[in-house]
Amino acid sequence: MTVISHDSGLTQGSITQPPSGFDRFINTGTKLLAWFFAIGTIALLAYIIYEIGLSAIPAIKEHGASLITSNEYEPNADKYGLRAPILGTLYSSALALAIATVFGLAISIFLSQGFIPRKLEVVFKNIVELLAAIPSVVYGLWGIYFVIPFLRDMLEPLGFTLGARSMLPAALVLAIMVLPTISAISYDALTSVNPRIKEAAFGLGATRWEAILKVIVPTASTGIFGSVILGFGRALGETMALAMLLGNKNVFSFSLLDPGNTLAALIANNFPEAGEVEMNVLLFAGMTLLAITLVVNVIGASIIQVANRGKKGARQ
Amino acid sequence: MTAITPTKSPASTNLPASAFHRDYKSIRTLVSVGLSVLAGTLTVVACIPLFSVLFMLIVRGGTRLLQGGLAIFTELPPGAMAKPGEGGFGNAIVGTLTMVVVAVLIAVPFGIMAAIFLTTFGARNPLSTFVRFAAKVMTGLPSILAGVFAYVAVVLLTGGFSAVAGGVALSVLMIPIVMLTAEEAIKMVPQKMKDAAIGMGCTPAQVTWKITIPSAMPGILTGVMLAVARAAGETAPLIFTAMMNNFRWAIDGKQPFVHLMRPTSSMAVFIYNSSASFSQNLIDLAWAASLVLVMMVLFFNIGGQLLSRGSRPKR
């Protein structure tokens, strides 16, 4: 090995120099900045929770428990009951999740288990990922001018009348929006299953789907379950499609043909024109939504983390 | 695709041929084939919405875009009584770009420095687990809550709706994306390169700035572009942080500066406000704006993905 050095360096008895004062200054500065922003991440999350939580207090003081138990939401009559939007948030998300889970799981199995050539697989994967790239406001516009007329034409011969705004189109569009989350994370979970497990199942004479449903999906179930929980978190917080398609009506109904409301849609629709009292109530709605989504997301992220930890263990 | 049978493993050639025979009358085979068809159908059906959206965008948005010509990019939104074909959304385009730039200026240094902490200075620090977890929780934060946060933290504080408030709201959504992708990109830099630099006597900061960051640059840029794509399409956080300003350009004729402290239009909020309008002209413009917005988002998205494809380590 040749030592590349300048003559002067060698005569001083050293081929390297210790860091200069400036270098040390830069080093300390970089380190401090990195620490600052790392702590800043935690601080930012804490600050978001603190600000939204704190700003909800006036509403709680003024209206108390009626905020979540009462059904009536009439700013003019000073009545602010959020029961309908809270139930609507859970109901619309559950509906969307039911649809998206069926499709998402089918897609992730179909793409991960070698049904189609690798190149076609990449094409489908990109298409599903592009679904996530379309802004939600564009989905809302599409929902108003395509999904609603389409559903109306479909349902009319069956004797159903679909209003201008209702749960069915909102839940469908919401399902499209959470589909990529579920299919992408489930795909990762399914592809990380050790192929030998599948080969062993084939060796025992299982058909392809027996192997998938009885061996591969159960093995990947933690990751799949995590993907569904994260999809649920996304559906709970999704705003625009529901604000545009659900009708902003503070009545809760299980019927798919009725309008409704969700917490996020309520905030989006009413915030710009809200007076001070209503604003406080909307900030309380934001806090409620934050509490629900935080719990769901922390559970989902933890499940995924556990699933990934298992994956690393299996490879060693 | 049905030709591939699970039992065609070459390892079992000494079994009787009947073991490989696929009995199409057997219920197990039928169930398997049926499920394959079902999964394929569901996958294809799931792709329909994308094509439907793109088709409508091209037909409805494209028509209006061709009809409106350049005026769409240079004029202000028309009133409800304007003649068909009048007006544009130039201010919304400028507004969206302005707010995205503000958000990038906040989120990129934040995300990259935090990623440097996660990979270099704090890699063995227990704190890094919490930092990473906080970022992951933030990726799941509903975008409207980023808006609520920016409203409380910026709008109430500065006393008005503004592009800065909108940018802050968007940056909250961008930070975790930039940070987590930058972390992944930095982790991809071969340890040998860093070791070589350390062997030369570099300080950790020199290793970071001269070796790690330049090598990880394509990956970091991917994260930034994906974050920009996400932020550009966001509507909910802008409704009550940047609001809307249909009558003004973000840039005033008299002043060369963008008005960062004034209500600012954005493409997304323009689409939202026009979507249920009584004016057919505004609805058509909303479609045209959607087309432009989707092209913008796809540009950043695909650009980011191409970058990441080019930057995968060659082994």
Note the pLDDT tens digit of each residue in B146-172.
Answer: 999 999 999 988 888 888 999 999 999
Q: Is A144 within 8 Å of B205 when comparing Cβ atoms? A: no
Q: In the prediction, which pLDDT does A314 show?
A: 45
Q: Which residues of B, range 85-144, sit inside 8 Å of A by Cβ?
A: 109-111, 113-114, 116-118, 120-122, 127-128, 130-131, 133-138, 140-144
Of A35-49, A125-139, B2-16, which gets the smallest average pLDDT? B2-16
Q: Does A240 touch chain B (CB under 8 A)?
A: yes
Note the pLDDT tens digit of each residue in B263-287.
Answer: 888 899 999 988 888 888 889 899 9
Closest CA relative to residue A267, chosen from A73, A136, A132:
A73
Of A35-49, B262-276, B285-299, which gets the smallest average pLDDT? B262-276
Of the residues A28, A138, A165, A304, the best mutation for testing chain B's interface (the one with the most B CB atoms within 10 Å of its CB) is: A138
Distance from CA of B134 to the nearest CA of A (A): 6
Sign of CA dihedral A255, A260, A265, A267: negative
Sign of CA dihedral A216, A217, A223, A224: positive
Closest CA relative to residue A68, chosen from A90, A93, A95, A98:
A90
Q: In the prediction, which pLDDT does A20 show?
A: 83
Q: In the prediction, which pLDDT does A10 show?
A: 45
Rounded Cα–Cα distance for residues B266 and B270 (Å): 6
Q: Is pLDDT above 60 for B255?
A: no
Kindly report the average pLDDT of chain B as a whole number.
84
Max mean pLDDT among A86-95, A251-260, B17-26 falls in A86-95
Which among A106, A146, A264 has the least Cβ separation from residue B42?
A106
Contacts 24+ apart (CB under 8 A), A202-205: A202/B6, A202/B7, A202/B9, A203/B9, A203/B11, A203/B12, A205/B7
Q: Which residues of A touch B243 (CB under 8 A)?
A: 272
Note the pLDDT tens digit of each residue in B47-81.
Answer: 999 999 999 999 999 988 888 778 888 778 877 67
Average pLDDT on A77-85 reads 84
Rounded Cα–Cα distance for residues A237 and B288 (Å): 27
Distance from CA of A301 to the nearest CA of B (A): 7
Note the pLDDT tens digit of each residue in A94-109.
Answer: 999 999 999 999 999 9
Other CB atoms within a 10 A radius of the CB of residue B11 amount to 8
Angle CA A165–A168–A173, to nearest 5: 95
Which among A23, A272, A296 has the least Cβ separation from residue B239?
A272
Q: Does A48 touch chain B (CB under 8 A)?
A: yes
Q: Is A208 within 8 Å of B271 when comparing Cβ atoms? A: no
Which among B7, B49, B294 has the least Cβ separation from residue A176?
B49
Closest CA relative to residue B244, chosen from B83, B33, B92, B57:
B92
Other CB atoms within a 10 A radius of the CB of residue B14 amount to 6
Helix (H, G, I), strand (E, B) or coil at B106: helix
Q: Is A130 within 8 Å of B175 when comparing Cβ atoms? A: no
Helix (H, G, I), strand (E, B) or coil at A309: helix
Render the burial of B152-168: b for 16+ CB within 10 Å, e for the rest.
Answer: bbbbeeeeebbbbbbbb
Work out the percent of chain B whose per-residue pLDDT is above 90: 44
Q: In the prediction, which pLDDT does A172 show?
A: 94
Q: In the prediction, which pLDDT does A8 show?
A: 46
Of the residues B2, B22, B25, B43, the best mutation for testing chain A's interface (the one with the most A CB atoms within 10 Å of its CB) is: B43
Distance from CA of B253 to the nearest CA of A (A): 28
Rounded Cα–Cα distance for residues A253 and A264 (Å): 18
Given pLDDT bands bounded at 50, 70 and 90, which one contains residue A15? Answer: low
Q: In the prediction, which pLDDT does B258 show?
A: 58
Q: Is A289 within 8 Å of B136 when comparing Cβ atoms? A: no
Q: Which residues of B touch A237 (CB under 8 A)?
A: 140-145
Q: Which residues of A, range 120-139, sit inside 8 Å of B by Cβ?
A: 124, 127-128, 130-131, 133-139
Q: Which H helix or E strand runs over A74?
A: strand A73-74
Q: Which residue has the higher pLDDT, A172 or B81?
A: A172
Q: Is pLDDT above 70 for B18?
A: no
Closest CA relative to residue A44, chosen from B111, B99, B85, B126:
B111
Q: Is B209 within 8 Å of A179 when comparing Cβ atoms? A: no
Q: Is B28 within 8 Å of A55 when comparing Cβ atoms? A: no
Average pLDDT on B20-35 reads 80
Of A4-8, A219-223, A261-265, B44-48, which gets the smallest average pLDDT? A4-8
Average pLDDT on A246-273 reads 88
Residue A232: closest C-alpha in chain B: B140
Distance from CA of B135 to the nearest CA of A (A): 7
Given pLDDT bands bounded at 50, 70 and 90, which one contains residue B231? Answer: very high
Q: Tell me phi and psi for residue A80, to 5 degrees.
A: -130, 80
Rounded Cα–Cα distance for residues A169 and A290 (Å): 25
Q: In the prediction, which pLDDT does A63 show?
A: 83
Work out the percent of chain A whose per-residue pLDDT is above 70: 92
List the alpha helices (DSSP H) in A192-275: 195-203, 208-211, 217-219, 221-237, 240-245, 263-270
Q: In the prediction, which pLDDT does B21 show?
A: 64
If phi > 0 it is left, if psi is from -120 to 50 it is alpha, else beta; for residue A31 that is alpha
Distance from CA of B143 to the nearest CA of A (A): 7
Q: Which residue has the higher pLDDT, B154 or B248?
A: B154
Q: In the prediction, which pLDDT does A9 show?
A: 43
Q: In the prediction, which pLDDT does A163 show?
A: 77
